[in-house]
Amino acid sequence: MKRLCLSFLALMFAVSASAQVPATPPPGTNVELDPIRCWWRTAAGAVRVGEIFELSLTCAVLDNDAVQVIADESRLGPAAIQLAPFEVVGGSHPADLQSGGRRFFQYHYQLRIISPDAIGRDAPLPSVQIHYTINNRVNGGGNVQGRDLVYLLPTEFVRIASMVPVNAVDIRDAGGVDFAKVESLQFRANVLDLVAMSAVALGVVVLIVMLVALARRVRTRVPAGERQLSPRALVGAALGELAAVAKEREAQGWTADLAARALAATRVAATAAVGGNIGQRLAGPESSAGDGRLIVREGLRGKTRIVSGSATAFDLERAVRTATGAASARVPLLESLRDAIARFGASQYGRAQALDQTSLDDALASARSAAGQVRAEHSWLKTQLKQWRGGSATPVASRA
């Protein structure tokens, strides 16, 4: 009886031992394996708002003699992947590794989150899908491509701790600044204060000078008969006369009277160009234009003046020959006025009975262009600059 019990216990132990030993698959049978497996790994379990931290994605895919898994990595690069609410600020992609029957590829991302609403919460990474295909290799060396499959990455959470470091005493704590930095900022502030005060003082001096000049001008009243128009105003009147001549020429063609008016206006502009005195005086009740004179009205209610220029073609030719240095740039202007005066004069005093319409048209165009340039040279700003530089401005026009 005792021997029978021992035999029964030995049989039970053998049965239990055989149940605990896993069965080994016979050679040549297929074993089910995951074609792709991926996982996340963060460098920190909790981050602050605005803090940059590292996030790594690692995937293992089958790659052996029988099966090759091809994953679509075009959407996994640092410049392509979207991980909202996190912002991808950088990353890298190291070389792939081959170990046994699997190939490992990895991506590193540098992330940050700037949303204050995530403080004190676990911010989840978005669901990322990886498309892949399974290619079966045949004996002939070819591949049989499978259909498109999708692998969903596991969910990962990142804890958003706070906006400031844990060891900050106050929320307004800033990084340490050395004494040299403080001294440099204080020196720059003092320099800027000095520059500002100097600018204010200069502005006050200029304002005082302008007020004094204005007071003197108001105190000294010049009679209407002695008041002189500026060269710019006189050249502007000559330019207006040339425009009127051009308008009448289009209506009736060139006449001796139009040529005389164009000559008088061109001489006024030429006199200002060579720095001569433009004659001007108040017009009487019976004064009229003609004989080298222009009638100019000063403003809407101003006096009417008779204006005349004394420059001739010989004066302009002499100015062209004596122009040197910076003045040589005005030679084309002087030549245009010289030729225009010569053509207008020839039409008025020449022996030819018929007027050369084409020649007079060219002279009028040159005279209008040159008069515009002379008027621009006598602007108020350029006149003041000449006075400040110590040079004499264009002589003030005198009365005829």
Domain of residue 130, CATH code: 2.60.40
Q: Do residues 246 and 364 both lie within one domain?
A: yes
Q: Do residues 251 and 384 both lie within one domain?
A: yes
Confidence at residue 28, expressed as pLDDT on a 0 to 100 scale: 46
Q: What is the mean pLDDT of residues 312-330?
A: 86
Q: Which residue has the higher pLDDT, 166 or 82?
A: 82
- Is residue 130 in some structural domain? yes
Confidence at residue 225, expressed as pLDDT on a 0 to 100 scale: 55
Examine the pLDDT at 154 and tell me if it is beyond 90.
no
- Is residue 85 in some structural domain? yes
Phi, psi of 154 (to 5 degrees): -70, 155
Confidence at residue 95, expressed as pLDDT on a 0 to 100 scale: 92
Range scoring the smallest mean pLDDT among 140-154, 157-171, 349-363 = 157-171
Confidence at residue 151, expressed as pLDDT on a 0 to 100 scale: 94
| Rounded (5°) CA angle 38-42-45 | 135
Q: Which residue has the higher pLDDT, 22 or 150?
A: 150
Range scoring the smallest mean pLDDT among 33-42, 49-58, 322-331 = 322-331
- Is residue 191 in some structural domain? no
Q: Do residues 155 and 248 both lie within one domain?
A: no
Domain count across the chain: 2
Do 133 and 146 form a contact (C-beta atoms < 8 A)? yes
The rounded distance, in Å, linking the Cα atoms of 58 and 348 is: 99
Q: What is the mean pLDDT of residues 261-277?
A: 89
Q: Do residues 297 and 381 both lie within one domain?
A: yes
Examine the pLDDT at 12 and tell me if it is beyond 60.
no
The residue among 127, 160, 193 that closes a domain is 160
Q: Do residues 373 and 236 both lie within one domain?
A: yes
Task: Say how far residue 1 (Cα) sits from the centre of its chain.
Answer: 108
Give the confidence band of 167 by pLDDT, cuts at 50, 70, 90.
low
Share of the chain above pLDDT 70, in %: 76
Give the confidence band of 62 by pLDDT, cuts at 50, 70, 90.
very high
- Is residue 198 in some structural domain? no
Q: What is the mean pLDDT of residues 33-58?
A: 89
Structure token digits, residue 393:
């401005």
- Is residue 222 in some structural domain? no
Q: Do residues 100 and 246 both lie within one domain?
A: no
- Is residue 340 in some structural domain? yes
User: Measuring CA to CA, which residue among 363, 366, 311 is closest to residue 333?
Assistant: 366
The domain of 81 spans 36-160
- Is residue 109 in some structural domain? yes
Q: What is the mean pLDDT of residues 250-273?
A: 88
Element spanning 197, H or E: helix 179-219
- Is residue 105 in some structural domain? yes
Q: Do residues 383 and 267 both lie within one domain?
A: yes
The residue among 144, 160, 176 that closes a domain is 160
76 Cβ contact list (under 8 Å, min separation 6): 57, 107, 128, 130
Q: What is the mean pLDDT of residues 304-319?
A: 87
Do 264 and 245 form a contact (C-beta atoms < 8 A)? no
The residue among 160, 189, 219 that closes a domain is 160
Secondary structure (3-state) at 35: coil
Q: Do residues 282 and 366 both lie within one domain?
A: yes
- Amino acid found at 370: A
Q: Do residues 266 and 373 both lie within one domain?
A: yes
Number of H helices, E strands in the chain: 8, 15
| Rounded (5°) CA angle 295-312-383 | 70
